[in-house]
Structure 1
Amino acid sequence: MVELRKPVRMFRIIKAFLTALYNDRFCWTFIKSYGLFALAIPIAKAFDGYELLPRVAPPSF
């Protein structure tokens, strides 16, 4: 029973910490902004050289 209490207690501490961060508007905005920026860097590197809209020849009349 002692072995089970430690993970449950750790889970509750982590849950309380994340809830406090989520409910604090400044902290959540800060974490969200930098997290999305950090996520966008590898995505931008993966799409390096990719043409979103390829060139289309002008119509000839």
Structure 2
Amino acid sequence: MIIDLTHTLKNKITVYPNTLEPIFEQGNTIEKDGFAEINMTMCTHTGTHIDAPAHIIPNT
């Protein structure tokens, strides 16, 4: 059995205390630029991550 605990990255996602919220902004559009792209600004402690121990255990 697989249980998916993945968090969807989005504006207003719950973040670790004292961590900045991520920002997602439309960067380019197909209509204007010929391709679509979203600009993302976020900390590495946002959403689901497999390196969780590295955030709280030194030298991991």
TM more than 0.5: no
Higher helix share: 1
Higher strand share: 2
Higher relative contact order, chain-length normalized (CA < 8 Å, sep 6+): 2
**TM-score (norm. length: structure 2):** 0.22
